[in-house]
Structure 1
Amino acid sequence: MSIYKFARGLVALALFPLYRVKVLGKENIPNNGPVIICSNHISNLDPLIVGITCPRNIYFMAKEELFSNKLLAGLLVRVHAFPIKRGMKDRNALRKGLGILEEGRTLGLFPEGTRSKSGELGQGLAGVGFFASRSEASIVPCAIIGPYKAFQPLKVVYGEPIDMEQLRANKTSAKEVTDSIMEEIKKLIENNRSESPIA
């Protein structure tokens, strides 16, 4: 068993009962080919929650500072994380992300770039639009609906892949593509927030 699968199983064992995680829409995630999971960001635990609820192995970007410790860096690499410099265009990270998609793998992105302290959806950055436009990946929106409180329901909703054909054909700007993706995440949140996760 790989370290990734072992870590994923261990985290799932801890977080599923702790937050009573309810997952909807997993069938919307393609079984094959490149995929970008685009989620809102309300907690530092979001990468773990997406990682254990998505049926595919996911590669995530992590802030470069986390890789300064060799032991931690070694672990992060084994669980499919790679570094990105925050606050600037990191060409190495962009190339790494595109390479992952070219290999037909799954990339997990949080378009807001940082977690929302209010819990409300913030503005998306152009980076996710760059990956969506420069690849042939299926773009799957994801909504994490909290709160992250022990033994209170947490809902994770995966929407249908976004139709990117026209956006790519029109060579729409990365920021506009991001805005379209954020609108789909917003709809998922609005359509599912009022419903009981225990349904």
Structure 2
Amino acid sequence: MSIFVTPEWWYYLIWLVTSIPIFYLSMIVMVLLYSITFNKWLPVNNKFKAFMYHDVANWALIWIFNVHVKTTGRKNIPKKGNLVIYANHKTDLDPLLAVVAITRQVSFTPKSELYHYWPINAWLDAIAAIRIYRDDDRMTLKELVKGINNAKNGLAYMIYAEGGIKDRSTDRITQDLKAGSFKLGQKAEADILPISVHNNHLVGERSPFKNTKVAVTIHPLIKFEDIKDLSTVELGTKIKEIINSDFEEENV
């Protein structure tokens, strides 16, 4: 007799509905345990870390936040070398979007207050993030020195150079980029990769109840040799123009 005319079919249905979420939740727990324990013995740019965090971030965006990411221009991502990435910042989920879009291990420069919350602090420590102390320049400088060494060892850093989320009504960068956001790249002699994130300004008002499709455009790489003589103001203007150039519908 078919299982669909007997009570047993309910067990199959329950198994089908719950098995995938349970599997991925188990993965998240494993990632957190890994981040707390074994991570410190692996190189900062370890490929396994990049693969693992990419999959977990992608699952979280789809199944928890109802956000789907489509990325174009991945061929512009260098497989190795010193790299700093800049993007427009419109939602607290932007770091997850970056982990999904970038095909190598990437870290961030979060404010120190985020380290008060577990498991966020465990994850940030696992990816060698640079803590920004808004009221303590000395501590920030110490963190920056660590970040420079990590960048020279191949860890890519994502920087949101506006200094936080400034305008959630548009994808465009609406303010001048902060000069301090370029210190890491200059000291590490890193290439720069600008990226434009479409529709991330909608995530906050739609997620998780409405599906949001986010499109990430990865622009051509800017070599350090081509920008090393630019001032921070000139560099900020250049990067801002590149990122905003992708939002054609708002250029009118």
The residue that corresponds to 2:59 in the other structure is 13
SS of structure 1 residue aligned to 2:109: strand
Q: Identity over aligned residues, as a percent?
A: 25
The answer to whether the 8 A contact 1:140-1:160 is kept is yes
- Matched residue, 1:113: 163
Show CA shifts across 1:70-102 (max 9, x none): 764333212443311136642123212211211
Check 1:103–1:79 CA distance in 2 against 1; reply closer, same or farther (3 A cut): closer
Q: Which runs of 5+ in 2 are unaligned?
A: 1-30, 36-48
Residue 98 of structure 1 is aligned with which of 138, 148, 152? 148
Contact 1:24–1:156 (CA under 8 A) maintained in structure 2: yes
More helix by share: 2
| Residue of structure 2 in register with 1:57 after alignment | 105
How far 1:22 moved relative to its partner?
1.1
Q: CA RMSD in A?
A: 2.4
TM-score after normalising by structure 2: 0.67
Deviation of 1:113 after TM superposition, in Å, equals 1.4
Distance 2:136 2:162 in 1: 14
Q: Does 1:133 align with 2:186?
A: yes
1:180 to 204, 225, 238: 238
Checking the alignment, whether the CA contact within 8 Å between 1:58 and 1:80 is kept in structure 2 is no
Name the stretch that deviates more: 50-59 or 144-153: 144-153
Q: Residues 151, 68 of structure 1: CA spacing in aligned structure 2 closer, same or farther, 3 A cutoff? A: closer
Runs of 5+ in structure 1 lacking a partner? Answer: 195-199
Deviation at 1:185, TM superposition (A): 1.0
**Whole-angstrom CA distance in 1 between matches of 2:118 and 2:173:** 34
SS at match of 1:20: strand
Q: Secondary structure at the match of 2:110?
A: strand
Letter in 2 for 1:188: D
Higher strand share: 1
Higher relative contact order structure (alpha carbons within 8 Å, sequence separation ≥ 6): 1
Judged with a 3 Å threshold, the aligned counterparts in structure 2 of structure 1 residues 180 and 52 are, in CA distance, closer, same or farther, namely: same
Aligned residue for 2:169, secondary structure, equals coil
* Matched residue, 1:161: 221
The question of whether the paired residues in 2 share the 8 Å contact of 1:162 and 1:181 is answered with no
Name the CA distance, whole Å, in 2 between partners of 1:175 and 1:124. 8
Aligned-partner Cα distance in 2 for 1:35–1:142? 13
Q: TM-score, normalising length from structure 1?
A: 0.83
Aligned residue pairs, count: 190
Aligned to 1:78: 126
